Amino acid sequence: MHNSNRLGDAPLLANRQFAATSAPLIAVEGLAKEYRVYDKPEGLLASVSGLFRRTSRLVPALRGVNLTVGRGEFVALLGPNGAGKTTFLKLLSGIITPTRGTASVLGHVPWERADDFRRRFALVMGQRNQLWWDLPAAESFRLHKEIYRIETTRFERTRDELVDMLDVRKLLLQPVRELSLGERMKLELVAALLHEPEVLFLDEPTIGLDVVAQHTLHRFLSHVQTERQMTVVLTTHYMKDVAALCQRVVVITHGDILYDGSLDQIVDRFTTHKIVTLDLDHEPSQERMERFGFPCEIRGPQAILRIDRSRIADVLPEILRSETVRDISVEDVPLEEIVASLFRSEAEIHTRESE
Amino acid sequence: MNRYATIFATFARACLVRDMTFRTNFILECVTSLGWMSMNLAFYLLVFTFTAEIGQGTGWTREPFFAFVATGLIINSIVQALFMPSAEELTEMVRTGGLDGVLVQPLDAQFLLSMHRIDFSAFANGLVGIGLLAWALKSIDRAPHFVVWLLYPLLILCGVAILYSLVIMLAAATIWMGRNQSLYDFWFYLTNFSRYPAEIYAGPWGSPLRALCTFVIPILLVVNVPARVIAQPLEGQGWGMIFAAVFAAVASLLISRIVFQLAISRYRSASS
């Protein structure tokens, strides 16, 4: 077991006080997790011999991550499937123990699973169900009240507030199995927030939800987070979640942090061009449009050019002079595309390394 | 402690509500287990048409033997009702990753995992057991000493504790193995030994088996000790058995706690 509360080791009282006021709520250093996986050979004979001798190897899920998160931050973890996002959240919530490294969440080592720590955070997993399946959510809430020792008046106040915000009062007495995914997710969130956690971990909370439900959750989360100054770490595959909620984005691929910064900076840092869409009065030829020197895609009377950001001021007037343009739009590369290319390029580097 | 009692009551209430929602299923479960039990009882009655006593000089004549069977029914029904459904679900939770949700809650994981699901239909057999015990004691026509009335419930609890420890250790093994579908089978084989008087395990094969099931896996103490106390006169060596049962109960609880803690510290969690 690691004793990683480094802040507590400060030798001077003055230092300690400084540390207490400016301490990050989540501090992670060199956090690594390896899983031992057993190879399951194909074929009957090989399977049988596998009963007696199995070959195993260590698969790194997280390779020494460093990260600090301050109070009230809303951080998104982005990354392709298998990048280590969920493993990271599981380590931070103390579900699993790391292979190496230290972490401190709310001043506790998460995997020591102290009650005082567990009372102060919540974990919501979009793919898992925490509510009693066959019973109305109100019953699960009641149990939650007991487990988290929430005082009755406080419990009722918080519950009513959350329930009204998400407009789910009429669902409280219906068995959870009869609810839609969106409705269930709202109730999962209410349950997770009943004990007013200081830190909230959300693992793909909007997975499988329709646009309306996603939007409702965004509004709700953003409201609650600001109101309570809650620290939230969210993993997702939807850029809409990130754009609506997070000031800070952490991109993880292959168990490493690839980028840590604001969403806008991702665009600045990882793209070289803008997308210019031209609506013309007739279908242009490919050659004609490519004479400006940039890749172009023709879609009917529409031409989509990818123009270097540094050149855009020169090229646009030229286009407008020589073409009959009905409408024009200049946009950044969509985030999805940037992130996807980030994932891809990292994967390529990775395969090259291992070859 | 009070909080744990309230939480347990909440679990019990929720399970009762659910059982009542699926009423037909509940009634069917009661009926099947009562049916299975009656067939067993009929079989024992049949055995006693051929012999007056199981093992000469053991004291297990018809009525005391039925007191033995009744004791077994009571203990098993408590374990089946309180712990078995949760233990079975634990194996499922390990496979699906549902255990994650339990480990983040500020509550003793072993408590939550061993009693969050209660099967009220299993109490049906216990009620029949109590009736059977009353009938057997009345037929024996020897009022048990008042000390016996204090000892019997205590020893029932010891029996439950030993069985519970075994169940929870078997369930904890699933955390290591990732999957353990043979839990119920293994449980059935083990408890099978506890269903008969210890005296039948005699001879070159029986004696080592008896020693194994008394001292290593104390499964023979579960029903035998309380049953002997209530159905037969309490003699000198009876006290030794009583101490052995209490000791075995405490020791198994401690060992199961250690095994369980070790298992959850090794938990790998399933993929999301």
Residues B207-265 pLDDT 10s: 898 888 888 889 999 999 999 999 888 776 778 899 999 999 999 999 999 999 999 88
Non-local CB neighbours of B266 within 8 Å, separated by 6+ positions: B175, B176
Closest in B10, B104, B265 to A93, CB measured = B104
Average pLDDT (A328-343) is: 83
CB contact under 8 A, A147 and B7: yes
The pLDDT, as a whole number, for residue B1 is 66
Residue B2 Cα, gap to closest chain A Cα (Å): 10
CB contact under 8 A, A96 and B268: yes
Non-local CB neighbours of B65 within 8 Å, separated by 6+ positions: B44, B48, B54, B197, B231
Q: Which amino acid is at B266?
A: R
Inform me whether the pLDDT recorded for A295 exceeds 60.
yes
Query: Do A32 and A98 reside in the same domain of the chain?
Result: yes
Residues in B whose CB is inside 8 Å of some CB of A read 3, 6-7, 10-11, 13-14, 17-18, 21-22, 97-98, 100-101, 103-107, 265, 267-269, 271-272
Task: Band the pLDDT of A279: cuts 50, 70, 90.
Answer: very high
Query: Do A18 and A163 reside in the same domain of the chain?
Result: yes
CB contact under 8 A, B103 and A113: yes
Q: CA separation (Å) from A241 to A109, A184, A265, B142?
A: 29, 18, 17, 76
Inform me whether the pLDDT recorded for A192 exceeds 90.
yes
Residues of chain A above pLDDT 90, percent: 51
**Is the residue at A346 inside a domain?**
no
Q: Are A170 and A205 in contact (CB under 8 A)?
A: no
**Is the residue at A354 inside a domain?**
no
CATH of the domain at A293: 3.30.70
**Is the residue at A340 inside a domain?**
no
CB contact under 8 A, A147 and B268: no
Q: A103: which strand partners?
A: A28
The pLDDT, as a whole number, for residue B153 is 96
Those of residues 78-137 in A touching chain B at CB distance below 8 A are: 86, 90, 93-97, 113, 115-116, 118-119, 121-123, 125, 127-128, 130, 132, 134-135
What value does the mean pLDDT of chain A take? 85
Between B158 and A299, whose confidence is greater? B158
Residue A301 Cα, gap to closest chain B Cα (Å): 45
The pLDDT, as a whole number, for residue B103 is 92
The pLDDT, as a whole number, for residue A222 is 94
Non-local CB neighbours of B24 within 8 Å, separated by 6+ positions: none
Give the per-residue SS3 of chain A.
Answer: CCCCCHHHHCCCHHHHHHHHHHCCCEEEEEEEEEEEEECCCCCHHHHHHHHHCCCEEEEEEEEEEEEEECCCCEEEEECCCCCCHHHHHHHHCCCCCCCEEEEEECCECHHHCCHHHHCCEEEEECCCCCCCCCCEHHHHHHHHHHHCCCCHHHHHHHHHHHHHHHCCHHHCCCEHHHCCHHHHHHHHHHHHHCCCCCEEEEECCCCCCCHHHHHHHHHHHHHHHHHHCCEEEEECCCHHHHHHHCCEEEEEECCEEEEEEEHHHHHHHHCCEEEEEEEECCCCCHHHHHCCCCCEEEECCEEEEEEEHHHHHHHHHHHHHHCCEEEEEEEECCHHHHHHHHHHHHHHHHHHHHC
Query: Do A280 and A170 reside in the same domain of the chain?
Result: no
Q: Which of A281-295, B102-116, B181-195 has the highest mean pLDDT?
A: B102-116
Average pLDDT (A118-147) is: 91
Between A355 and A205, whose confidence is greater? A205
Sketch the domain layout of chain B as residue ranges.
2-265
CB contact under 8 A, B104 and A94: yes
Query: Do A232 and A138 reside in the same domain of the chain?
Result: yes
Q: Are A65 and A255 in contact (CB under 8 A)?
A: yes
The pLDDT, as a whole number, for residue A11 is 35
Query: Do A97 and A201 reside in the same domain of the chain?
Result: yes
The pLDDT, as a whole number, for residue A27 is 96
- d(CA A270, CA A93) in angstroms, rounded, equals 32
Query: Do A212 and A133 reside in the same domain of the chain?
Result: yes
Those of residues 18-37 in A touching chain B at CB distance below 8 A are: 35
Task: Band the pLDDT of A87: cuts 50, 70, 90.
Answer: very high
Least confident of A197-211, A227-241, B29-43, B174-188: B174-188
**Is the residue at A75 inside a domain?**
yes
Inform me whether the pLDDT recorded for A126 exceeds 50.
yes
Average pLDDT (A242-261) is: 90
Q: At what angle do helices B220-231 and B123-140 cross, to 10 degrees?
A: 40
Those of residues 58-87 in A touching chain B at CB distance below 8 A are: 86
- Hey, of A36, A134, A152, A236, which one would you mutate to test binding to chain B, going by the most B CBs within 10 A of its CB? A134
Contacts of B98 in chain A (CB under 8 A): 128
Those of residues 191-210 in A touching chain B at CB distance below 8 A are: 203-204
Residue of B nearest to A81 (CA): B272
Q: Which of A236-240, A311-315, B157-161, B211-215 has the highest mean pLDDT?
A: B157-161
Between A170 and B23, whose confidence is greater? A170
Residue B33 Cα, gap to closest chain A Cα (Å): 24
Average pLDDT (A249-262) is: 90
The pLDDT, as a whole number, for residue A333 is 85
CB contact under 8 A, B272 and A93: no
Between A338 and A179, whose confidence is greater? A179
Residues of chain B above pLDDT 90, percent: 46
Q: CA separation (Å) from B65 to A111, B89, B239, B247, B253?
A: 51, 34, 20, 25, 29
CB contact under 8 A, B10 and A146: yes
Of A91, A122, A85, A110, residue with least CA distance to A207: A85
Average pLDDT (A158-179) is: 94
Q: Which of A42-56, B119-133, B191-205 has the highest mean pLDDT?
A: B119-133
Inform me whether the pLDDT recorded for A13 exceeds 50.
no
Task: Band the pLDDT of A353: cuts 50, 70, 90.
Answer: low
The pLDDT, as a whole number, for residue B179 is 62
Angle of CA points B252, B99, A157, to nearest 5°: 110
Q: A27: which strand partners?
A: A68, A104
Q: Are B249 and B179 in contact (CB under 8 A)?
A: no
**Is the residue at A355 inside a domain?**
no
Query: Do A98 and A224 reside in the same domain of the chain?
Result: yes
Query: Do A52 and A148 reside in the same domain of the chain?
Result: yes
**Is the residue at A337 inside a domain?**
no
Inform me whether the pLDDT recorded for A18 exceeds 60.
no
Task: Band the pLDDT of A156: cuts 50, 70, 90.
Answer: very high
Measured in Å, how far apart are chain B's first and last C-alpha atoms?
34
Burial zone of A213 (CB within 10 Å; 0-12 exposed, 13-18 middle, 19+ buried):
middle
CATH of the domain at A95: 3.40.50.300
Of A234, A293, A242, A292, residue with least CA distance to A267: A242
Q: A232: which strand partners?
A: A74, A200
Task: Band the pLDDT of A1: cuts 50, 70, 90.
Answer: very low
Residue B208 dihedral angles phi and psi, to the nearest 5°:
-60, -40
CB contact under 8 A, B100 and A95: yes
The pLDDT, as a whole number, for residue B227 is 93
The pLDDT, as a whole number, for residue B199 is 87
CB contact under 8 A, B105 and A147: yes
Inform me whether the pLDDT recorded for A283 exceeds 60.
yes
Q: Are A194 and A155 in contact (CB under 8 A)?
A: yes
* A146: contact with B, CB 8 A cutoff: yes
Measured in Å, how far apart are chain A's first and last C-alpha atoms?
35
Q: Around A231, how many Cα atoms within 13 Å sit in the side-chain half-sphere?
A: 15
What value does the mean pLDDT of chain B take? 88
Angle of CA points B175, B179, B182, to nearest 5°: 110
Inform me whether the pLDDT recorded for A297 exceeds 50.
yes
Q: Are A179 and A133 in contact (CB under 8 A)?
A: no
Query: Do A30 and A114 reside in the same domain of the chain?
Result: yes
Q: Around A142, how many Cα atoms within 13 Å sit in the side-chain half-sphere?
A: 17
Average pLDDT (A205-220) is: 91
**Is the residue at A212 inside a domain?**
yes
Q: In the listed set A243, A267, A291, which residue is the last one of a domain according to the structure?
A: A267
Q: Range of A239's domain? A: 6-267
Residue of A nearest to B5 (CA): A146
Question: In this predicted model, what pLDDT tens digit does every residue of B161-199 receive, in sequence order?
Answer: 999 999 999 888 888 776 666 766 777 887 888 888 988
Inform me whether the pLDDT recorded for A350 exceeds 70.
no
**Is the residue at A213 inside a domain?**
yes
Angle of CA points A254, B175, B14, to nearest 5°: 110
Query: Do A27 and A71 reside in the same domain of the chain?
Result: yes
Query: Do A34 and A86 reside in the same domain of the chain?
Result: yes
Q: In the listed set A267, A291, A314, which residue is the last one of a domain according to the structure?
A: A267
Residue whose token pair is 């009429």: A170
- Hey, of B25, B99, B272, which one would you mutate to test binding to chain A, going by the most A CBs within 10 A of its CB? B272
Q: How many domains does chain A have?
A: 2
The pLDDT, as a whole number, for residue A2 is 40
Residue whose token pair is 């309180």: B82
Task: Band the pLDDT of B135: cuts 50, 70, 90.
Answer: very high
Our measurement of the distance from residue A152's CA atom to the centroid of its chain's CA atoms, rounded to an integer in Å, reads 33
Query: Do A135 and A51 reside in the same domain of the chain?
Result: yes
The pLDDT, as a whole number, for residue A6 is 34
CB contact under 8 A, A147 and B107: yes
Contacts of B271 in chain A (CB under 8 A): 86
Residue A330 Cα, gap to closest chain B Cα (Å): 39
ipTM value: 0.82
CB contact under 8 A, B97 and A128: yes
